[in-house]
């Protein structure tokens, strides 16, 4: 794999740039600065860095208090903890109170591999999306991660961003990053099937379209990094005329991208929607790529599923 | 509690436990080596003394242990193997491998493990529940939990502490692995826990401090005192050395969960062996 830069490292870069221009930009960690790649932020801007110790609920509430006083806080902690341990703080102190807190879930999905379900976040999309006034973003690669963070620095509302732990293959390239905030990015046009993915499975979706070409199946691919607000318009326009919609996500089968896509499609342009996701069970022990392969969520698995259904 | 066997022999065994935990980490390609090394004597002493064996592990009368600092599961696997609950060979072959049940945190589908953990700040409250059930059922079993000192930043720990004091859970004993380090550095610099003993005492706990939590005799006598204490739950604040067993990793925050290179592995293993020799010749 060519790319060695993790999305979290890009987050640190963007936040350092922002901190140098605006002293109100603050980062909060819960003994997570190493995992978040934010140690260099803490070293460079110690006055704009708050360490709360291993206390994720406190992390989020403190961030809300800072926001209420005009600070621009980014609360960064593993996705598993920030989305479950601090759930009520996210709901009440951030979203409900309409605070400008950016909640960043690092090492999201199954990035922590063999550490097991305590460390996996396969429920964060569902949990966070169910909160009114919460937005949910899962950028697909390092280039898009930069775009999302730069946009979030411009607004003043709560948002949750999930990023993974390890470097992921590029979907986009330097100078070629089509991006409009809250609009899905069309990665491929196609006539038979539409594959909608988010986060680190967008690359697999893109690659599966190539594999499908060899089987004479024409696949469109949509990068739905903005899971909430879901880009319904973009979805419906890409879905037009397709026989099948496939969704792919590093999440439980319930309440995630697949559920939301199915809701929009069934209400507006009913057709078959099939969701590829993690199971409703503790995920098999393994590295991310092994896990994806096991559950048929890699490029080969997606292509196989499409061919099976359309075949 | 059972009586402790030969302390010198067990103290040497603690270094075999460390070596096995190290091998488990190497076999699986990762683990929490620093905290594994600081807790070795505590876990070994507990399992030597608790009223639970592979034969009685399902008995309603057994003593219970919850590893609240679940990230240090490799030493737990090593101790459970030593005590006959699981097989070391199997752990070594499977730890963290694809499809394995031997994952990087305690999981209660495995023999000898009571409760899943890994998210810090749950163990004390879960142990309160176990101790409360013991009181309801008028059982004589005791409940033990081991927490990290960084873990004490979790507010839930103090909710658990208040409940234990309130319900007079003298069948509960919490141990703090006070190695003074967490991932980001020194606990006092990351987020000071303040006066740990005073905080527990304020919730009605009997507070014991041991100056060397890597000393089996000290651990064992504190456990005796805890068992004798009525009305109050007991916390043992154990001064330990993170990374204990090799100068290469001792007292270094960077060794919280670093994977040794082959060269470092050999050095650590040799140091552990030397420690063991010193104990046997001491
Ligand atoms: C709720 C929660 N937050 C964060 C973590 C990540 N984490 C794993 S170990 C650790 C540091 C623990 O330090 P300490 O409690 O002192 O343990 P020890 O020094 O004995 O390893 C952290 C933050 C976690 N496992 N659970
Ligand atoms: Mg510690």
Look at ligand 1, atom 9, and give the residue with the nearest C-alpha: B71
Measured between CA atoms, how close is A191 to chain B, in angstroms?
38
Tell me if A172 is assigned to some domain: no
Q: Nearest chain A Cα to B181, which residue? A: A31
Q: Would you give per-residue pLDDT tens digits along chain B (282 residues)?
A: 899 999 999 999 999 999 999 999 999 999 999 999 999 999 999 999 999 999 999 999 999 999 999 999 999 999 999 999 999 999 999 999 999 999 999 999 999 999 999 999 999 999 999 999 999 999 999 999 999 999 999 999 999 999 999 999 999 999 999 999 999 999 999 999 999 999 999 999 999 999 999 999 999 999 999 999 999 999 999 999 999 999 999 999 999 999 999 999 999 999 999 999 999 998
Instruction: Say yes or no: A158 and A189 in one domain.
Output: no
**What range does the domain containing A225 cover?**
185-310
Residues A131 and A214 in one domain: no
Mean pLDDT, range A113-122, rounded to an integer: 97
pLDDT for position A311: 83
CATH code of the domain covering residue A56: 3.40.50.970
CATH of the domain at A228: 3.40.50.920
Q: Which ligand is nearest to the CA of A86?
A: 1
Per-residue confidence (pLDDT) for residue B1, from 0 to 100? 85
User: Same structural domain for residues A140 and A256?
Assistant: no
Task: Classify the complex by whether its ipTM is higher than 0.90, answering yes or no.
Answer: yes
Residue B2, domain member (yes or no)? no
Q: Whose CA is nearest to atom 25 of ligand 1?
A: B119
Closest ligand to C-alpha of residue B120 is 1
Report the nearest-CA residue for atom 8 of ligand 1. B71
In a domain, A2, yes or no: no
Residues A113 and A21 in one domain: yes
| Close Cβ partners of B186 (under 8 Å, ≥ 6 residues apart) | B180, B253
The answer to the question of residue A210 being in a domain is yes
The DSSP line for B240-269 is --TTTT-TTTTT-GGGSSPPPPHHHHHHHH
User: B161 preceded by cis ω (within 30°)?
Assistant: no
Task: Assign B25 to helix, strand or coil.
Answer: helix
Cβ contact A72:A100 at 8 Å: yes
What pLDDT shows up at residue A119?
Answer: 98
Domain that residue B151 falls in = 7-281
Ligand 1 atom with least separation from CA of B119: 26
Question: Within this chain, do residues A81 and A225 fall inside the same structural domain, yes or no?
Answer: no
What local confidence, expressed as pLDDT, does residue A1 receive?
Answer: 61
Taking CB atoms and an 8 Å limit, are A285 and B116 in contact across chains? Answer: no
Residues of A in contact with B103 (CB under 8 A): 114-116, 285
With helix as H, strand as E and coil as C, how does chain A read? CCCCCCHHHHHHHHHHHHHHHCCCEEEEECCCCCCCCCHHHHHHCHHHEEECCCCHHHHHHHHHHHHHCCCEEEEEEEHHHHHHCCHHHHHHHHHHCCCCCEEEEECCECCCHHHCCCCCECCHHHHHHCCCCCEEECCCCHHHHHHHHHHHCCCCCCEEEECCCCCCCCCCECCECCCECCECEEEECCCCEEEEECHHHHHHHHHHHHHHHCCCCCEEEEECCEEECCCHHHHHHHHCCCCEEEEECCCCCCCCHHHHHHHHHHHHCCCEEEEECCCCCCCCCCCHHHHHHHCCCCHHHHHHHHHHHHC
Q: How many domains does chain A have?
A: 2
- A178 within some domain: no
Is there a contact between B116 and A57 if contact means CB atoms under 8 Å apart? no
Distances (CA, A) of A196 to A104, A163, A192, B48, B101: 23, 18, 13, 55, 33
Asked if residue A247 lies in contact with residue A297, where contact means CB atoms within 8 angstroms, the answer is no
The burial of A13, by beta-carbon neighbours within 10 Å (0-12 exposed, 13-18 middle, 19 or more buried), is given as middle
For ligand 1, atom 16, the nearest C-alpha belongs to B150
Give a yes or no: residue A177 inside a domain: no
Q: Which residues of A touch B101 (CB under 8 A)?
A: 285
Which CATH number does the domain housing residue B209 bear?
A: 3.40.50.970
Same domain for A198 and A109? no
Residue B124 structure tokens = 């004390």
Q: A164-216 pLDDT, tens per residue?
A: 999 999 999 999 999 999 999 999 999 999 999 999 999 999 999 999 999 99
Q: Which residues of B touch A35 (CB under 8 A)?
A: 183
Per-window interface: A 260-299 vs B, CB < 8 A: 284-287, 290
Residues of B with CB under 8 A from a CB of A: 28, 30, 70, 96-101, 103-105, 107, 116-121, 150-151, 153-155, 182-184, 190-191
Domain final residue, candidates A131, A162, A193: A162
Question: A51 — contact with chain B (CB < 8 Å)?
Answer: yes
Domain shared by A12 and A151, yes or no? yes
A23 and A57 in a single domain? The answer is yes
My answer on whether A154 and A213 are in the same domain is no
Same domain? A38 vs A148: yes
Three-class SS of residue B120? Answer: coil
Task: Please check whether residues A290 and A158 belong to one and the same domain.
Answer: no
Cβ–Cβ of A114/B153 closer than 8 Å? no
**Ligand 1 centroid – CA A225 distance (Å):** 31
Shortest-distance Cα residue to atom 4 of ligand 1 = A54
A14 and A121 fall within a common domain: yes
Give the alpha-carbon dihedral of B75, B81, B84, B86, to 10 degrees: 110
pLDDT in tens, A76-97: 999 999 999 999 999 999 999 9
What angle is formed at CA B84 by the lines to CA B83 and CA B88, rounded to 5 degrees?
A: 100
Ligand 2 centroid from CA B148, angstroms: 5
Domain count, chain B: 1
Cβ-defined contact of B103 to A285 (cutoff 8 Å): yes
- Domain presence at residue B1: no
B183 and A31: CB-CB below 8 Å?
yes
CB contact under 8 A, A34 and B120: no
Yes or no, beta carbons of B105 and A33 under 8 Å apart: no
Within a domain: A176: no
Residue A245 belongs to a domain? yes
């Amino acid at each position: 794999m060519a790319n060695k830069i993790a999305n979290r490292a890009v987050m640190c870069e963007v936040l350092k740039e922002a901190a140098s221009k605006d002293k109100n930009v603050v980062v909060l960690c819960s003994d997570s600065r190493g995992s978040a790649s934010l140690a260099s932020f803490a070293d460079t801007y110690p006055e704009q860095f708050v360490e709360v110790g291993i206390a994720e609920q406190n992390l989020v509430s403190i961030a809300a208090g800072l926001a209420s006083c005009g600070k621009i806080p980014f609360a960064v902690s593993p996705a598993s903890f920030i989305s479950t341990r601090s759930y009520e703080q996210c709901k009440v102190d951030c979203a409900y109170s309409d605070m400008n807190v950016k909640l960043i879930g690092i090492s999201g999905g199954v990035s922590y591999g063999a550490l097991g379900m305590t460390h996996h976040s396969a429920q964060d999309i569902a949990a966070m999306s169910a909160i009114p006034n919460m937005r949910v973003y899962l950028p697909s690669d390092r280039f898009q991660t930069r775009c999302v963070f730069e946009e979030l620095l411009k607004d003043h509302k709560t948002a949750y961003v999930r990023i993974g732990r390890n470097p992921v293959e590029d979907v986009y390239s330097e100078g070629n990053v089509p991006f409009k905030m809250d609009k899905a990015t069309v990665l491929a046009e196609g006539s038979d099937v539409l594959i909608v993915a988010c986060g680190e499975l967008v690359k697999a979706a893109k690659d599966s379209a190539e594999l499908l070409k060899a089987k004479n199946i024409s696949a469109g691919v949509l990068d739905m990094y903005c899971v909430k607000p879901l880009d319904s318009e973009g979805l419906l326009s890409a879905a037009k005329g397709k026989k099948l919609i496939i969704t792919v996500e590093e999440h439980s089968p319930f309440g995630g991208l697949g559920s939301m896509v199915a809701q929009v499609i069934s209400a507006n342009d009913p057709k078959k929607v099939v969701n590829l996701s993690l199971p409703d069970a503790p995920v098999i022990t393994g590295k991310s790529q092994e896990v994806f392969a096991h559950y048929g969520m890699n490029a080969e698995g997606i292509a196989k599923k499409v061919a099976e259904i359309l075949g | 509690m059972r009586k402790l066997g030969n302390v010198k022999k067990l103290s040497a065994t603690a270094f075999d436990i460390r070596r096995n935990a190290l091998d488990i980490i190497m076999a699986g390609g990762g683990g929490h080596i620093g905290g594994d090394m600081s807790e070795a004597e505590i876990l070994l002493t507990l399992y030597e003394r608790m009223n639970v064996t592979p034969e009685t592990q399902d008995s309603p009368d057994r003593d219970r242990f919850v590893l609240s600092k679940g990230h240090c599961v490799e030493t737990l696997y090593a101790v459970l193997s030593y005590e006959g609950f699981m097989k070391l060979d199997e752990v070594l072959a499977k730890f963290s491998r694809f499809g394995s049940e031997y994952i990087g945190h305690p999981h209660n589908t495995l023999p000898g493990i009571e409760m899943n953990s890994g998210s810090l700040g749950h163990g004390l409250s879960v142990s309160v529940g176990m101790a409360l059930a013991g009181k309801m059922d008028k059982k004589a079993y005791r409940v033990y939990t081991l927490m990290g000192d960084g873990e004490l930043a979790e507010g839930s720990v103090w909710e658990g502490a208040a409940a234990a004091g309130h319900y007079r859970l003298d069948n509960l004993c919490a141990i703090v692995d006070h190695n003074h380090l967490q991932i980001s550095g020194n606990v006092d610099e990351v987020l000071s826990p303040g006066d740990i003993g005073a905080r527990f005492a304020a919730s009605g706990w009997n507070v014991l401090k041991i100056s060397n939590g890597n000393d089996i005799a000290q651990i064992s006598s504190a456990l005796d005192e805890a068992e004798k204490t009525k009305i109050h739950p007991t916390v043992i604040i154990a001064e330990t050395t993170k990374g204990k067993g090799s100068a290469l990793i001792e007292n270094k925050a960077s060794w919280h969960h670093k994977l040794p290179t082959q060269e470092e592995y050999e050095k650590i293993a040799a140091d552990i062996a030397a420690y063991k020799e010193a104990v046997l010749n001491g």
